[in-house]
Amino acid sequence: MQFANFRVFSSKGLYRKFFKFIDLLKKGGVEPDRKSLSELAVRNPESFKAVVEFATSKKG
């Protein structure tokens, strides 16, 4: 079951984007905890949006 989910996830290009997101957080000085990020996205989407905006601001 997990393997099938991984294939669907990666076939949509989301897998690669996720690791880019994690890399951007690290470049911004944040050591991401994937479980905490997941819970934040589900329980507090506005705060998660702020994290995403922070990470994407570190692109350049």
pLDDT tens readout for residues 37-59: 888 888 888 888 888 888 888 77
Q: How confident is the model at residue 8 (pLDDT cuts 50, 70, 90)?
A: very low
- Count of CB atoms within 10 A of residue 55's CB? 20
Among 7, 3, 14, 54, smallest CA distance to 30 is for: 54
Determine the pLDDT at residue 2.
43
Domains in the chain, number: 1
In which domain, by residue range, is 52 found?
17-60
- Checking if the pLDDT of 35 tops 70, the result is yes
- Count of CB atoms within 10 A of residue 18's CB? 14
Whether 23 is in a domain gets the answer yes
- % of residues, the chain, pLDDT over 70: 72
Whether 39 is in a domain gets the answer yes
| Helix H or strand E encompassing 28 | none
pTM score: 0.64
Whether 33 is in a domain gets the answer yes
Whether 41 is in a domain gets the answer yes
Q: Mean pLDDT throughout 23-46?
A: 86
